[in-house]
Amino acid sequence: MTTLPPVRGKLIKDASLAPYTWFRVGGPADWLFLPEDETDLAGFLKTLDPAIPVTVLGVGSNVIVRDGGIAGVVVRLMGKYWGSVEASEDGFLTARPGALDVSVAKAAARAGITGLEFLSGIPGSLGGATRTNAGCYGQELRDVLVGLEGYLRDGTHVAYRGPGRPGNLPEASFSYRYTDLPDDLIVTKLTLEGSGSGDPEKILAEIELLQNRRADTQPIKEKTSGSTFANPDPPGTPDQRSAWKLIDAAGCRGLKVGGAQVSPKHCNFLINTGDATAADLEALGELVRAQVLATQGVNLRWEVRRIGRIKPPLPPINA
């Protein structure tokens, strides 16, 4: 029996992960670790058996946890400590990866910092947004990232400066929905910079407009995630620059597999209509990709992460 290092946070065996994802699907984690703080996380990683895999799960807004669950330890960075955001008078924000993107935008607004309003249109938490260089409304995280810190799988502390930022630290490279950060890096702190100062009430009003726009165009009240597929990069013809347009042109709006459906409201979103499995959602996504490739000649790239073990089918029942 594997013995895990002692922690100050919580360690839960065979923890169901479905409640921690927006899709509300997926099998259990062998172990779920909820670290108390950065020191708790670092100590755990340093003493954990190197053979045990570690997977990070934030708010679960852009992930499909497969039905077989996740081997090893799943680290979830949520709660008061991991969701903290602090603004300084010189236009900088320091935030933990569990901070919701909209909370970061509103914290900046309350401090009179402009230029971070776009974060309110990105579902999920700042840690996830960092991994995918998330963006909307013409801006991406790389545009406002000053630097970040975190720990590798072995507990080594590392730090990076944002793209184009001065300093002696290694520079993190970002491109469209991609970053070259190490796969085993667990981000624990980020520093962001706004573009100027403004009236907090006006900035908050702009955020509210963006939130209303998102509610009008996306199925945010459904069991869903962020955008399923990245827009083609580099972009093609005008009709091939948006994943949703390609999906719509391929006749996939409203398409179903089991309990999973392509959203009739915005067809770059998959939804769990109530009884979907992770296998349903992944199969539907692959069907969409196949139909777009066959009819539009574009190979869509998943933006939603798919992690964990595929649950083996049940053996046939002998009559």
Q: Is the pTM of this model over 0.75?
A: yes
The arithmetic mean of pLDDT across residues 199-203, rounded, is 95
User: pLDDT tens digits for 41-95?
Assistant: 999 999 999 999 999 998 999 999 999 999 999 999 999 999 999 998 888 999 9
Which of 240, 239, 248, 243 shows the shortest CA–CA distance to 231?
A: 243
The answer to whether residue 2 scores a pLDDT higher than 80 is no
Digit-coded pLDDT (tens) for 101-129: 999 999 999 999 999 999 998 889 999 99
The contacts found for 102-111 with CB under 8 angstroms, 24 or more apart, are 102/207, 102/211, 104/192, 105/207, 106/204, 106/207, 108/192, 108/194, 108/203, 109/200, 109/203, 109/204, 109/206, 109/207, 110/200, 110/204, 111/87, 111/200
- Candidates 205, 210, 197; CA nearest to 115 is 197
Measured CA to CA, the distance from residue 212 to residue 235 in angstroms comes to 28
Active site residue 227: yes
Q: Is 177 a catalytic residue?
A: yes
Alpha-carbon distance of 126 to 39, in angstroms, equals 20
The question of whether 303 is a catalytic residue gets the answer yes
Which residue in 61, 225, 227, 263 is the catalytic one? 227
User: Under DSSP, is residue 210 helix (H, G, I), strand (E, B) or coil?
Assistant: helix
Rounded mean pLDDT of the chain?
92
| pLDDT at residue 147 tops 50 | yes
Q: Which of 38, 117, 140, 303 does the annotation list as catalytic?
A: 303
Which position among 142, 161, 177, 289 bears the catalytic label?
A: 177
Q: State CA 13 to chain mean position distance.
A: 24
**Is pLDDT of 314 > 90?**
no
Whole-angstrom distance between the N-terminal and C-terminal Cα of the chain? 39
What is the spatial distance between Cα 34 and Cα 37, in angstroms, rounded to a whole number?
Answer: 9
Q: For the segment 221-258, what is each residue's pLDDT rounded down to a tens digit?
A: 899 998 999 998 765 555 557 999 999 999 999 999 99
